[in-house]
Amino acid sequence: MKKIERGMAFASRHVDIFKCPVCGEGFEEVMNGSFSCSKGHQFDFSKKGTLYFLRHGVKSDYDDIKMWEARRFVLKAGLFQPIIDEILSLIPEKNYLRIVDVGCGEGSTLKYVEEQRTNREDAYVGFDISKKAINLATRDEGSAFFCIADLAQLPFASKSFDVILDMFSPSAYGEFDRILKSKGLLFKVIPNANYLIELRHMLYEENDPQYSYSNDKVLTLFKRHYPHAKIKKITYEFPLSKTFFESLVYMTPLHWGAAAEKIDAALAKGLNKITIDVLLLIVENN
C-alpha cells in the first residue's frame, strides 16, 4: 500500500479523531485524495500520506533537516529509551488506545512506542509544526499517522485520545485538557539543570545565560494547571561515540547560539558520555 493510501485509510478508520481547524466541525469522509469536514472545508493528503492543517505560514529554526536527521540518528540509538520505557510502564496494558505525540519531530518516539506495544491495535498520531520533520517521520514503516498542525489549535476532536506524549515540546494545556479522554494520561518530559550539561559547558562561557538552565518557570506553570500531578526524576548517562557526539551537537538547539569556534572546538574534543537529567510529569485526567 502506498503512503498516501495508508494515510487516507487511517483517516477513514479514525474520522472521529479529527476536527476541522477552520470551522471546528467534525470530518465526514475521505474522497479523491481529500479529507472533508461537514461544512465542506477540504484538506489534501500529500504523497507521503500526511495532512497540512496549518492556517498560517511558519518560519522556524526547527525546520532544519540537518537537525532532524541528527536527532533521528541519536534517538534511534536509544538516547531517550529509558524515559520512554518508564512512560510505557505507566500506560495501561489494554488494547485500542489512541496515543498522540505532541511535537513528534521525526517520529522516533512514536515508532518506538508502537514497537513495544505489539498486537495492541492502537491508533497513533504524531504532529509537528515542521513539515521537514513530518516528512522524515513517514520514512518508517508503521501504522502512525502524521500531520502538520498548530499546537494552539489542534485539529483533533474533544475527548479523542487516551494518552498524550509531550517530550521536550511546548504545551497548550487548555487544548490538552480538551482532547484528552476521561481517565486519560498526559506525560510531559522537561529538562532538569544537568540535562546535557557537559555539552552546555563546552559551548558556552560561565557568564553566558546558556551556561546554566532552570526549569522553574515551566514547572511552576505546569503545577498551576495540574496541582495533583505526579513527578518522577529520571537521570542517567548515555555513552557517545564520535559520530553520536557530532549528531548530538546538531540535534539540540544549544548549538544555535554558540560561537562557531566553540562548536568546532567541541567537535574536535568530543565527549564519551552525556548526562540525561529530566522530570517526567504525569497527569491522569478526571
Residue numbers belonging to the annotated binding site for Zn(2+): 20, 23, 37, 41
* 231 touches 177 (CB < 8 A): no
Beta-carbon contacts of 220 under 8 Å, excluding residues fewer than 6 positions away, are none
Q: In Å, what is the CA distance from 159 to each residue of 17, 32, 176, 178?
A: 9, 28, 9, 6
- The span from the CA of 182 to the CA of 162, in Å, is 8
The annotated binding site for S-adenosyl-L-methionine is made up of 80, 106-107, 195
Binding residues: 20, 23, 37, 41, 80, 106-107, 195
- Distances in Å between the Cα of 253 and the Cα atoms of 12, 203, 265 are 37, 11, 17
C-alpha cell at 225: 494547571
Residue with C-alpha cell 509537528? Answer: 128
- Positive or negative torsion for Cα 92, 187, 274, 233: negative
252-260 long-range CB contacts below 8 Å, 24 or more apart?
Answer: 252/196, 252/199, 253/61, 254/196, 254/199, 254/200, 254/203, 254/210, 255/203, 256/61, 257/204, 257/210, 258/203, 258/204, 258/210
